[in-house]
Amino acid sequence: MNSIVSRAKELLENKSVQVIVGFEAGPTGKARPAFVTYPSKTDILIFDERCVQNLAVYLTKKEVKQFGKIGIVATLPIMRSIMMLISEQQVFAENIEILGVSTEGKYLDIADIQVMQGYIEKCDLSNPSNDQETLAMLNKMSMQEKFDYWQNELSTCIKCYACRQACPMCYCTRCAVECNQPQWIPVQANTHGNMEWHILRAMHLAGRCISCGECGRACPVNIPCHLLTMQLADQAHKYFNVYAGTSEKMSSVLSTYEPNDKESFIL
Amino acid sequence: METTHKIIRKHSLEKLYVTLLENRKIYAPVKQADNLIGYQYNPAFSEVTFDHLQSTLSVKNVVFPKVENLFYYTNNKTDSTVKGIDLEKFPEVVLWGAHPCDTAAYDVLRSIFCWDIKDEFFAARLEKLVVIGLACHKSDALCFCTSVGLSPDSSKGSDILLVPLNNGDYKAEIITEKGSRIVAESPEIFENYGDETVNVTVVEQKFDHKQLTSKLSNAFEHPFWLANSLRCIGCGACAYVCPTCACFDIQDETRGKNGKRYRSWDSCGFGLFTLHTSGHNPREVQSQRWRQRILHKFSYMPERNESLGCVGCGRCSRACPVDMNIAEQLQALQSI
For A164-206, how does the pLDDT look when each residue is reduced to its tens digit (9 = 90+)?
999 999 999 889 998 877 888 888 899 989 999 999 999 999 9
pLDDT band at B291; cut points 50, 70, 90: very high
pLDDT band at A257; cut points 50, 70, 90: confident
The DSSP annotation for B53-71 comes to: S--SS-SGGGTS-SEEEEE
**In the prediction, which pLDDT does A121 show?**
96
**In the prediction, which pLDDT does A156 show?**
94
- Please, what's the largest Cα pairwise distance for chain B? 72
Burial B293-302 (b: 16+ CB within 10 A, else e): bbbbbbbebb
More confident residue, B276 or A255: B276
With the C-alpha atoms ordered B44, B47, B49, B55, is the resulting torsion angle positive or negative? negative
Report ipTM (2 d.p.). Answer: 0.95
pLDDT band at A31; cut points 50, 70, 90: very high
Record: contact A35-B231, CB cut-off 8 A: yes
Instruction: Please report, for chain A, how many H helices and E strands are present, in that order.
Output: 10, 5
Nearest to A27 among B36, B57, B328 (CB): B328
Interface of B with A (CB under 8 A): 34-36, 38, 56-57, 66-67, 141-142, 226, 229-231, 233-237, 239-241, 249, 251, 253, 262, 264-265, 267, 270-272, 284-287, 319, 321-323, 325, 328
Which H or E run includes B31? Answer: strand B25-31
pLDDT band at A78; cut points 50, 70, 90: very high
pLDDT in tens, A112-150: 999 999 999 999 999 999 999 999 999 999 999 999 999
- pLDDT above 90: percentage of residues in chain A: 85
Collapsing DSSP to helix, strand or coil, B201 comes out as: coil
Phi then psi for residue B53, to 5 deg, are: -75, -55
Residue B16 has pLDDT above 90, yes or no: yes
| The pTM of the whole model exceeds 0.90 | yes
Instruction: Quote the mean pLDDT of chain B.
Output: 96
Give yes or no for A159 touching B (CB within 8 A): yes
Identify the weakest region by mean pLDDT among A78-82, A149-153, B195-199, B313-317: B195-199
Distance of CA A162 to the CA centre of its chain: 13
pLDDT band at B211; cut points 50, 70, 90: very high
Instruction: Quote the mean pLDDT of chain A.
Output: 94
**In the prediction, which pLDDT does B63 show?**
98
- pLDDT above 70: percentage of residues in chain A: 99
Helix A76-87 × helix A113-122 angle, to 10°: 120
Alpha helices for chain A (secondary structure H): 2-13, 62-65, 76-87, 113-122, 129-139, 143-154, 162-166, 191-204, 214-218, 226-240
Tell me the nearest-neighbour CA distance from A117 into chain B, angstroms: 27
**In the prediction, which pLDDT does B201 show?**
97
Tell me the nearest-neighbour CA distance from A108 into chain B, angstroms: 24
**In the prediction, which pLDDT does B328 show?**
97
**In the prediction, which pLDDT does A267 show?**
58
Give yes or no for A70 touching B (CB within 8 A): no
